[in-house]
Amino acid sequence: MLFLIVLILSFASGYFLPWWVVTIAAFVAAFFIGKTPGQSFWSGFAAVFIGWTVLALFKSIPNDHILASRVVQLFPLPNNWIWLLVVTVLIGGIVGGMAALSGVLLKRAFGK
C-alpha cells in the first residue's frame, strides 16, 4: 500500500512540482502508513525509482533523447543517455527511500 501511494504521488508531482516534493510525499506516507523501517525504505526506493524512470522516459523518448545525450556529455560517464537515466533514478530512489525511512522512524520515536 505504501509503495502504491508513493508511486502515485511521485509520478503525479513529477509533472508540476519540483523534484524534492517526492521526499515530502514519501515521508508523510510512511509516517501514516509505514510498518517497519526496512519495508518503508524499500517501498519508497522502488516507488520513486519506477516513477522517475517512467517520467524520464516519457519526456526523453519523444525528442529521441537529444537533451539527455547532450547532458550526459557534461559528466564523466560513458557517452550514452542510458547512464544519465540510471544515475538519475538511483539518486531519486535513494532520496525516496531515505525520506520514507525517516517518516517511519519519526513515527516510532513519537510512539514511545
pTM: 0.91
How many domains is the chain partitioned into structurally?
1
pLDDT surpassing 70 at residue 34: yes
Question: Quick check: 100 and 51 in contact, CB under 8 A?
Answer: no
Q: How far is CA 45 from CA 36, 65, 68, 81, 100, in A?
A: 14, 25, 23, 22, 8
User: Helix crossing, 81-111 with 21-33: angle to 10°?
Assistant: 40
Query: What confidence score (pLDDT) does residue 60 get?
Result: 92
* Total length of the chain: 112
Rg of the chain over all Cα atoms, to the nearest angstrom: 15
Domain that holds residue 23: 2-111
Mean of the per-residue pLDDT values of the chain: 94
Which range is least confidently modeled, 42-46, 47-51, 79-83? 79-83
Which of the four pLDDT bands, split at 50, 70 and 90, describes residue 112?
A: low
Q: What cell was used for 87?
A: 544515475
Query: Can you tell me the distance from the alpha carbon of 10 to that of 29, in angstroms, rounded to the nearest whole number?
Result: 11
Query: Between 111 and 52, where is the model more confident?
Result: 52
